[in-house]
């Protein structure tokens, strides 16, 4: 593994923030149509998200497991982004715990409406965890 395929501590610190990632999968429409997603950068260096089994990205990733995610700083901050690309695995375990952690990061779960939405997400027994295994990490700070 080269340095280009590793998330640095500065990358992981940036990616721990409640920012949206824009996911693109290889077998999608031309041109690619990124979708905003919640994500988690793990201490082991992967990037993970959860999804339903009937999502188009799952079918596409089963055909071609390559994907990328780009995360950018919001307007008003100095320009910064991190892009991670690599092969994915689709895991049948861990998606519910991931969804719980991410909901707490992105939503105020003291809000009954948000807590109810999380309960609906967690009621889906088929949730899947998509793991991006970095093969290339690019970053920019201005």
Domain extent for 40: 3-95+128-141
For the chain, how many structural domains are there in total?
Answer: 1
HSE-CB for 133 with a 13 A CA cutoff: 7
117 in a domain, yes or no? no
66 in a domain, yes or no? yes
Cis peptide upstream of residue 31 (ω within 30 degrees of 0): yes
Q: Tell me if the pTM is above 0.85.
A: yes
pLDDT tens digits, one per residue of 104-128: 999 999 999 999 999 999 999 999 9
114 in a domain, yes or no? no
pLDDT range class, residue 2, cuts 50, 70, 90: very low
109 in a domain, yes or no? no
pLDDT range class, residue 31, cuts 50, 70, 90: confident
């Amino acid at each position: 593994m080269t340095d280009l395929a590793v998330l640095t501590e500065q990358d992981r610190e940036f990616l721990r923030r409640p920012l949206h990632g824009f996911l693109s999968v290889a077998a999608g429409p031309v041109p690619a149509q990124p979708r905003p997603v919640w994500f988690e950068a793990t201490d082991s260096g992967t990037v993970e998200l959860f999804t339903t089994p009937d999502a188009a990205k799952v079918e596409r990733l089963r055909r071609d497991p390559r994907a990328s995610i780009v995360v950018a700083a919001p307007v008003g901050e100095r320009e910064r982004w991190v892009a991670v690309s690599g092969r994915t695995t689709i895991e049948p375990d861990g998606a519910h715990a991931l969804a719980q952690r991410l909901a707490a990061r992105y939503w105020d779960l003291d809000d009954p409406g948000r807590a109810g939405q999380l309960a609906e997400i967690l009621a889906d027994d088929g949730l899947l965890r998509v793991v991006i295994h970095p093969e290339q990490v690019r970053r920019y700070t201005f």
